[in-house]
Structure 1
């Protein structure tokens, strides 16, 4: 049986090289052979189905430990039970998000107050102030990420929209939401908001600062890395590094360059 090097296996299955290395380290997808001298990994065609199953389950946000136990059972009944259990967990998270949306609606409708004010009394400037405060609060919560961080990111975006924020403000709000989801290891929404960020940046270039475009590329690179797609992550990291060279102010370049440097991909 002809074995494939890791790069070819990655292209065939759509699983990033970095993800394959990690799956080997945790025993989820062990190569068929490893060269003793070079350490190169090789995979067999028989492993394609397992790799594609892992990729599918990861896209559904199933944790690696659950994927390992599910595939190890090799039993249709066990697979169904695992999928039902994961569906329930996702439904619980969805319920929490719906609860937050309902809370926002009560605030919007003036049925509850925020900072002693009902929503109808919030002027544009007050919405913008809340957008800024919640944006900064999101950054603070990144040191201990969780639901509050995520809801603050979305609430900041909401207040910027209500406060007449510019396209640039909206793009930065999408960037923040993408970062929050990447930190929480949730690739699908991270990619959604990163793509939306880039769409907004490209839709109104005259309204943007010169650092908005590399920031959007950084968000996409990080989101793709969260999804285990090292090839796309490397692509957008490269675009980010090219774009950042055009940022005039060194102080504006530094934080984005630092963020890009944390993305360990093969460029």
Structure 2
């Protein structure tokens, strides 16, 4: 199996983009992409080639056994100390969001655990390198992941903590933080059968979304509000 050295000043965001491109190329049946997957993936399955499979392929192309090893190698060559925490906070956050729609409570337990622990790890790194806004966003991600994989009580706990941080430290928040917090809390309340409270939070999230100044931020919020699971609240 041939390998390629990592380029100087390798960027994990660029490597992640390459993995996304590889997944799409395999899905489209491109021969070059399929050949790369067959050569470097230990259990290649064209019919179920996920983003994690693509990431593993990219890592093995560079002579590393796993995507986490690749992440660590790139990070330690670039940054140290507090910046290392910031780096991993960003990368783990992005990776968890990338995988969120691929994994749910029907996925293998190991995949569910990796998704949840990735969200916790991102939050931990932001506790070291960020502020209360970063902490709140970490709590939001944990809540969304927990709800996605059926850990309802965990999701409710972190959704409430997210909103608490936002209400306590408003001066550090962006205008889109509270609608995101209300969205997560609405989902969690719906999942626990508290339908009236959930509808109230969802309505608050929608109203606050309309007040967000940035068009791009409003679009992201609208897209998230349209995604399941809503546990029957929006059906």
Fold shared by both chains (TM-score > 0.5): yes
Residue 261 of structure 1 corresponds to: 226
How far apart are the structure 1 equivalents of 2:102 and 2:210?
Answer: 32
Shift of 1:144: 2.9
Shift of 1:140: 1.9
Which of 106, 129, 132 is residue 167 of structure 1 equivalent to?
A: 132
Task: Write the deviation string for residues 155-174 of structure 1: whole angstroms up to 9, x where unpaired.
Answer: 001111122x1110000000
How far apart are the structure 2 equivalents of 1:228 and 1:184?
Answer: 17
Cα-Cα RMSD: 2.2
- After TM superposition, the structure 1 = structure 2 runs for residues 74-89 of structure 1, keeping only pairs within 5 Å, are none
Determine helix, strand or coil for the equivalent of 1:115.
Answer: helix
Determine helix, strand or coil for the equivalent of 1:248.
Answer: coil
Structure number with larger C-alpha Rg: 1
- After TM superposition, the structure 1 = structure 2 runs for residues 103-252 of structure 1, keeping only pairs within 5 Å, are 115=72, 122-145=80-103, 146-163=112-129, 165-252=130-217
How far apart are the structure 2 equivalents of 1:259 and 1:229?
Answer: 21
Matched residue pairs, number? Answer: 151
Task: Write the deviation string for residues 171-208 of structure 1: whole angstroms up to 9, x where unpaired.
Answer: 00000000000101121110110000001111111111
Shift of 1:245: 1.5
Shift of 1:235: 1.0
Task: Write the deviation string for residues 19-41 of structure 1: whole angstroms up to 9, x where unpaired.
Answer: xxxxxxxxxxxxxxxxxxxxxxx
Query: What TM-score do the two structures reach when normalised by structure 2?
Result: 0.59
Contact kept in structure 2, 1:186 and 1:226, CA below 8 Å: no
Query: What TM-score do the two structures reach when normalised by structure 1?
Result: 0.53
Task: Write the deviation string for residues 33-83 of structure 1: whole angstroms up to 9, x where unpaired.
Answer: xxxxxxxxxxxxxxxxxxxxxxxxxxxxxxxxxxxxxxxxxxxxxxxxxxx
How far apart are the structure 2 equivalents of 1:232 and 1:223?
Answer: 10
Query: Runs ≥4 in structure 1, deviation > 4 angstroms?
Result: none
How far apart are the structure 1 equivalents of 2:182 and 2:90?
Answer: 23
Q: Unpaired runs of 5+ in structure 1?
A: 1-113
How far apart are the structure 1 equivalents of 2:162 and 2:153?
Answer: 14
How far apart are the structure 1 equivalents of 2:192 and 2:162?
Answer: 17
Residue 88 of structure 1 corresponds to: none
